[in-house]
Amino acid sequence: MGQYTHILLAADFNPESEKVVHRAKALAANFHARLSIVHVLEPISIAYGGEFPVDLGDLHKELEKQAKQQLGALGEKLNVAPEHQYLEVGITEKEILRVAKANGVDLIVMGSHGRHGLALLLGSTANAVLHHADIDVLAVRVGKKS
């Protein structure tokens, strides 16, 4: 009882988030649980409120290519097979939850940043996931000494 069987790491590729990766790895190892990874790209129109004046298709393709590479490298490092690496486009918290529910995840591991600047946004994401999840959420504190 109390064991986790399928852990989903919500990865944001922020250098500060190395700690989140280590936590997810230790949890999966200690619980002998399956580990999957999800990374969500928000459409640029969402990130910039739809006010960007140029065609962003190429930029999005480039970002997607970079994200795919980073996800692949992280998957290799963590021994997560490509079919358990999810690269999604959409609203971060919605996509994390969708992937978690579709794959029988029982624990989501994600970073929780501080409360100012860009950090606020990421803290809000952890918060939104927490409030909508029927699934346990581990918020790993990043960007502060601890």
Residues that bind a second copy (CB under 8 A): 1-4, 19, 21-27, 30-31, 106, 112, 115, 123, 126-127, 130-131, 133-141, 144-146
- 123 CB-near residues (< 8 Å, 6+ apart): 112, 113, 114, 115
* Least gap, CB of 49 to a second copy (angstroms): 25
| Residue (41 or 140) nearer to a second copy, CB | 140
> How near is the Cβ of 69 to a second copy at its closest, in Å?
24
Give Cα separations from 90 to 21, 77, 87, 98, 120 (angstroms). 22, 26, 10, 11, 19
Q: Closest distance between a second copy and the C-beta of residue 126, in Å?
A: 7
Min dist CB 7 to a second copy, Å, is 12
Of 61 and 132, nearer to a second copy (C-beta) is 132
**In angstroms, what CA-CA distances link 76 with 30, 40, 79, 105, 136?**
19, 18, 5, 20, 25
Question: Among residues 46 and 121, whose Cβ is nearest to a second copy?
Answer: 121
Specify the 3-state DSSP secondary structure of 144: coil
